[in-house]
A = this chain, B = another copy of it.
Amino acid sequence: MRYYSYDEFLQDVKSLIKRIDEDFDAIVAISRGGLTLGHFLGEYFDIRAVYTINAIGYEGQKKLACVTLANTPDLSCHKRVLVVDEIVDSGDTLQQVMDELKSKFPDIIYKSAALFYKPSARYRPDFFVQYADEWIDFFWARDLHDTHD
């Protein structure tokens, strides 16, 4: 288990931004994990159209059998959409989100971005920063529980 701090996030988002060498007119963040990243990228690129899609895998099973999507945003006014998540682990979530968006809005150009990517994932994001080889303990899940202050 590896703690991933806000400072590290900031450096990685800066690296990610350098890799994202094209323009987008909307961002779709996968909730919950991609929310903070989507917020920061929307602010940086001055994209007000930051949407989310809910992806919830069945819990209590070692392997996620299925990912349930909900609240697909209306992208009908957009041409180039960046889909973001914090980590692409099995790739199941990102694959299903991309399939859903392409199916509902087939004329849009989609790219995807994540902070972490596990090479064994079945979907490789177009832009990513680090390879993940262990469980990441993100600051948004940890820092509020910190009892040092």
Residue A73 at the chain B interface, CB threshold 8 Å: yes
Residue positions of A touching B, CB distance < 8 A:
6, 10-11, 13-14, 17, 29, 31-32, 35-36, 38-40, 42-44, 48-52, 54, 56, 70-71, 73-74, 140-141, 143-145, 149
Contact in complex: A144, B71 (CB < 8 Å): no
Contact in complex: A40, B144 (CB < 8 Å): yes
| Number of identical monomers bound together in the oligomeric complex | 2
Q: Min CB distance, A16 to chain B, in Å?
A: 10
The SS class assigned to the A binding surface is helix
Bound-complex Cα distance A43 to B70 (A): 19
Contact in complex: A35, B32 (CB < 8 Å): no
Contact in complex: A48, B35 (CB < 8 Å): no
Bound-complex Cα distance A6 to B144 (A): 12
